[in-house]
Structure 1
Amino acid sequence: MLQNAPDLSLLNPAELQVLRLFAQGHTAKSVAQLTDRSVGAVNERLREARRKTGVASSRELARLLVAQENWDEKLALDQEPSPTPVLDMHGRARREYRLLKGANIMILLAISLLSASTPSPSGAVVDKDEILSSFMPQDASPLEQYQQVRGEVRDESWAHAQEQMLGARFAVLLAKYGVHKPVRVLCGNTLCEVALRVRVSAKRLGGLVAELQERPLLDDLKRHGLTGTSAGFGSDKETADMLYFSYWKRG
């Protein structure tokens, strides 16, 4: 535990969820919308969290929570052996595409970053991307969508709302697997990109990969007016980080 940190073990799951969303910049109103609670219920959880920990500010308590969880995650990862990259099956590049049953989301499997082929000129745009460099396929529709979302004239009101919603939705999902790290979301006019690079313990990794592909996530985002078009998973052989991207079409 970090020195001089409040006792966060006193907080229940609902209070922790609200504080994690607050740490991402959400307000009581937006947290209420995302969690299907009333604003009063959200504020009550914040009051209880402050009372239990003795921290006067909800924002400060949210900051302390994220700092503590990041510290705990680092200690846990330092103490366990690095897991075998989940999708690097043979230590060499291999690409496989399949369509999920009942869903229009394409999964890109088994990419070894260290042995990926040299990017084609058309993929130069991703060379400096901190998450997707050397991971984005150079000959498939995800590359076109990567370029599209950055080339669209941004619909500011729609894009901002979708970025907030997607960031919160994926953050809640990741938190179930011990990951408390901001998700990168970028929306344009008709398309949104979600990208993340995280390290997950070996025993939690399979569950996270499964949930990122299953109907509840797809159906939830469809209710927000988004349809999944493509997604990819990969692993960094050196760091054992999991990499993920997905694209969501408006309407």
Structure 2
Amino acid sequence: MSEVLIVLVSGASGSDKLIMPSPPLKSSPPLNALERQVLALLAEGHTAKSIATALDMSVHAVNERLREARRKTGAASSRELARRLAAQKNWDKQVGVPGDDPPDADLVSPGAAMVARRRSRSLVIMLVTVAAFALAVVGVQNASAPTATPTRATSAPAVPGDGVSRGAAPLNPYLSRFAAEARNSDWAAPAELRALALFTLVDGVRSVEVNCAATLCRVEGAVQLGAMKRAMAGVQGDMLRSRLAGAGLEVAAADFRVVPDAAEAGGFTAFLRRTD
């Protein structure tokens, strides 16, 4: 038979009060270590989702542990069981205590901030991975591309109405302005990665180098043998313009250089203007 402790307390008015503590805790069957860990996190304010994230489990597995703990202890509420367990965490024995809250269905989310932080870290990792992939593609192209030493370069003819100026003279204002600008690293570094990834996707472009200052980016590209027409169409095309606009950039001027003696091998210089 279990013992019941009754405490008699005398008040200031001389009247006595009876105080009966919570009923003694059951000790069988004992909760295992995982059930105790889940209940401890629940007592700290976590939800089933945040507990699953913290313990690398599924939400279903967490709810199974809670249901098993309630079954062992006869508790009607996982939260009440968790509170009782936390209040008696210094007791050196296996604990199982029933409660009187309604059974848990879906636990609400004081732990949502932790999940959001994990998603934010995942997004940063994904962006770094994409940038590293783009740099790797460019490195492979540079390593595998044949080296050519152009002997005579000529500017490609302008296409009326395409919005892209060509030839050395139209580039001169941007050359001097780019040389005078100080580098804004906060903007330049991500702008270089975005422009590098987009120009690398242009059909016919063999390799790309991008340098940005404060409001301008200079793009130097090499064109594959026999691919000058495709490269010109890609650089002046609507698809690249749309992608650059999404990155806060636009083509301000471009100059294509062809070498007839090398089967139209050549390159281009383009200046991008910051629009954001």
Q: TM-score, normalised by structure 2?
A: 0.44
Higher RCO, Cα 8 Å, sep 6+: 1
**Structure with max Cα Rg:** 2
